[in-house]
Amino acid sequence: MVNEDPNQQEQNGTPAQDPALRVDHSASGHQSVSTHPSVSMHPSVSAHPSVSIHPAVSARPSSSAHPSMLAQSGGLARPSSSCPEDLSVIKVSKRRWVVVLLFSCYSMCNAFQWIQYGSINNIFMHFYGVSAFAIDWLSMCYMLTYIPLLLPVAWLLEKFGLRTIALTGSALNCLGAWVKLGSLKPHLFLVTVLGQIICSVAQVFILGMPSRIASVWFGANEVSTACSIAVFGNQLGIAIGFLVPPVLVPNIEDQDKLAYHISIMFYIIGGVATLLFILVIIVFKEKPKHPPSRAQSLSYALASPDASYLSSIVRLFRNLNFVLLVITYGLNAGAFYALSTLLNRMVILHYPGEEVNAGRIGLTIVIAGMLGAVISGIWLDRSKTYKETTLVVYIMTVVGMVVYTLTLNLGHLWVVFITAGTMGFFMTGYLPLGFEFAVELTYPESEGMSSGLLNVSAQVFGIIFTISQGQIIDNYGTMPGNIFLCVFLTLGAVLTAFIRADLRRQKANKETPENKLQEEGEEEEESNANKVPTIVSEEHF
């Protein structure tokens, strides 16, 4: 039976509907009736979003709508009509800001634990009686752990979703923080290594999530800003990690007093990590009720439970523009990781006894980078100039690194603060640009996978650069070590110039399946009567 009751009730801004079949009375007086999936529809038949198909119909895209074909220049492939959400309604939820800020907070906590040893490298060397290289590995284990665990975690993200990944990441971060409290004796270095390894595993569940959260929760004109806010938390954690440890843990000889000061730092971070884990359990949701953008709506419609995971990876590596971005991102982020890990050592060599100012210089680098990241995100949302912005920021990173290298040994700390901050504005500000550019180049592939591959590249180059620069500094001094990074950053800027701006997600947001049908010959009158309505509003909690 067909439900033709004109007084049909509306719920949540969308018409209620019979689960099997629904009739829509369009403005032109025509009736749009859903059809059985086996019936072929003539191009002139309306594809109005109010048409529904029986829920039992599979949402698997046809071969002609393969994700890799979605954003071709000629238009969009037509997605499947069946999907658990009402894809005709585009809404953004107010909860999106709570979700991204909560993620940003536990990312901040994890990043603090990454750099808390490196920012007072000499003090932990003295406390545990180990070499500088051993303390460096407490930072590098974050990089090393990420490489083999990326693919399993990316698979878990696709299989179980954002909420499961958020719970796992915040739980491991909390566990690692409390394990470190068992390492407050000089002979328990291996316990602090274990705690740091647990935190490094948590990082795998955190580092690649900003672009995924932005795409799932935020509208087309907000995604870059949201991604910047998500990355902002990680950078803020690094900034606090440079600032707080030198203040909480002074450089003193008495081992018992030193253990007491270290315990204060470990207890604070353990308490914060526990609170954030509880908040994730209570607040963090999988996704909003309605897709926040056309691109996300199409992504849901094209999602296939039978899609090959490995084939997605193969498609990414066949995308030359993305491969170039993976290399250039790795060079930039790897240089940042090396600088962050070795900063305390470099500053102390030129300014002995300035552990606190070494931390403040690191803070300056990251705070300036956070400002650069937010400005870049807002600029991208307004201009959509991904290639141009990325290239300019990369070139300025090279310039900033050269100036920092030439001024580090002048004997004036205030000059180092200025040059380091200028370098950080561009170097750290580049990180969210890379995430968002990757999503544009690879849409509709998984944001978690594209971001994850960028991070793998960053970890690989980070380990190589940290070990190499550390050896160069020990044998030849800080300037040759920094020149080493300048060479590779210059290479990254050159390769960035060869990336073609194939902005697939932008095309998806501008084009709809109905536009495509019209281009293929749909009658103008019929198409005007049946265009997709885009409803942009804020859905309350």
Output the domain CATH number for residue 409: 1.20.1250.20
DSSP for 201-235, written as a single string:
HHHHTTTT-HHHHHHHHS-TTTHHHHHHHHHHHHH
In terms of domains, do 319 and 421 share one? yes
pLDDT at res. 349: 86
Mean pLDDT confidence for 142-159:
85
- Judge whether 522 lies within some domain: no
pLDDT at res. 87: 53
pLDDT at res. 86: 54
pLDDT at res. 356: 80
- Of the pLDDT bands very low, low, confident and very high (cuts 50, 70, 90), residue 203 is very high
Least confident range of 35-39, 270-274, 280-284 = 35-39
- Judge whether 258 lies within some domain: yes
User: Can you give the pTM of this predicted structure?
Assistant: 0.63
Residue 482, domain extent? 308-504
368 has pLDDT over 60? yes
In terms of domains, do 124 and 234 share one? yes
Mean pLDDT confidence for 415-437:
87
Q: Does the bond joining 37 to the residue before it have cis omega, within 30 degrees of 0?
A: no
pLDDT at res. 312: 77
pLDDT at res. 521: 41
SS3 assignment, position 333: helix
167 has pLDDT over 90? yes
In terms of domains, do 107 and 252 share one? yes
Mean pLDDT confidence for 380-401:
88
The Cβ of residue 366 has, within 10 Å, a number of other Cβ atoms equal to 28
76 - beta bridge partners? 71
In terms of domains, do 335 and 285 share one? no
Mean pLDDT confidence for 440-467:
84
In terms of domains, do 291 and 315 share one? no
pLDDT at res. 169: 93
* 224-to-20, 130, 294, 388, 510 alpha-carbon distances in Å: 39, 43, 16, 15, 17
pLDDT at res. 77: 38
Q: Select from 264, 295, 326 the last residue of a domain.
A: 295
Least confident range of 205-214, 239-248, 323-332 = 205-214
The answer to whether 536 touches 13, Cβ cutoff 8 Å, is no
266 has pLDDT over 90? yes
pLDDT at res. 223: 76
pLDDT at res. 299: 65
In terms of domains, do 211 and 325 share one? no
The answer to whether 142 touches 338, Cβ cutoff 8 Å, is no
261 has pLDDT over 50? yes
In terms of domains, do 209 and 346 share one? no
- Judge whether 490 lies within some domain: yes
Element (H, E) at 138: helix 132-160
* 202-to-74, 103, 134, 466 alpha-carbon distances in Å: 42, 13, 21, 21
538 - beta bridge partners? 92
510 has pLDDT over 80? no
pLDDT at res. 9: 38
Structure-block tokens of residue 55: 């829920």
43 has pLDDT over 70? no
Structure-block tokens of residue 282: 């209570």
pLDDT at res. 28: 40
Higher pLDDT, 516 or 186: 186
Least confident range of 29-38, 365-374, 434-443 = 29-38
What percent of the chain is modeled with pLDDT above 90?
A: 28
101 has pLDDT over 50? yes
In terms of domains, do 116 and 208 share one? yes
534 has pLDDT over 60? no
In terms of domains, do 267 and 317 share one? no
The answer to whether 224 touches 98, Cβ cutoff 8 Å, is no
- Judge whether 533 lies within some domain: no
- Judge whether 323 lies within some domain: yes
527 has pLDDT over 90? no
Mean pLDDT of the chain: 76
Tell me the pairing of strands 92-93 and 538-539: parallel
pLDDT at res. 441: 87
Higher pLDDT, 529 or 230: 230
- Of the pLDDT bands very low, low, confident and very high (cuts 50, 70, 90), residue 370 is confident
In terms of domains, do 289 and 314 share one? no
Higher pLDDT, 59 or 300: 300
Tell me the pairing of strands 31-33 and 71-72: unpaired
Mean pLDDT confidence for 311-338:
90
**Residue 37 gets which letter from DSSP?**
T
Quote the CA–CA distance of 79 and 352 in Å, as a whole number. Answer: 63
Structure-block tokens of residue 131: 């070499």
Quote the CA–CA distance of 204 and 143 in Å, as a whole number. Answer: 9
Which of these, 390, 397, 396, lies nearest to 498 by C-alpha position?
390
Which residue is listed with tokens 């200028």?
A: 422
Structure-block tokens of residue 218: 């935020």
- Of the pLDDT bands very low, low, confident and very high (cuts 50, 70, 90), residue 379 is confident
pLDDT at res. 325: 93
> What is the maximal distance between C-alpha atoms in the chain?
87
Mean pLDDT confidence for 274-278:
95
Number of structural domains (the chain) is: 2
- Judge whether 126 lies within some domain: yes
- Judge whether 340 lies within some domain: yes
Q: Is the dihedral of CA 349, 142, 183, 241 positive or negative?
A: positive
Quote the CA–CA distance of 455 and 432 in Å, as a whole number. Answer: 11
Structure-block tokens of residue 203: 């990082």
- Of the pLDDT bands very low, low, confident and very high (cuts 50, 70, 90), residue 304 is low
Read off φ and ψ for residue 539, nearest 5 degrees: -90, 130
pLDDT at res. 128: 92
85 has pLDDT over 70? no
In terms of domains, do 283 and 321 share one? no
359 has pLDDT over 50? yes
Q: Select from 234, 264, 295 the last residue of a domain.
A: 295
Read off φ and ψ for residue 93, nearest 5 degrees: -95, 145
pLDDT at res. 528: 45
Q: Does the bond joining 444 to the residue before it have cis omega, within 30 degrees of 0?
A: yes
In terms of domains, do 254 and 332 share one? no
- Judge whether 302 lies within some domain: no
- Of the pLDDT bands very low, low, confident and very high (cuts 50, 70, 90), residue 511 is low
Least confident range of 206-220, 240-254, 305-319, 469-483 = 305-319
Higher pLDDT, 511 or 266: 266
> Torsion-angle region of residue 522: left (phi > 0), alpha (psi -120 to 50) or beta?
beta
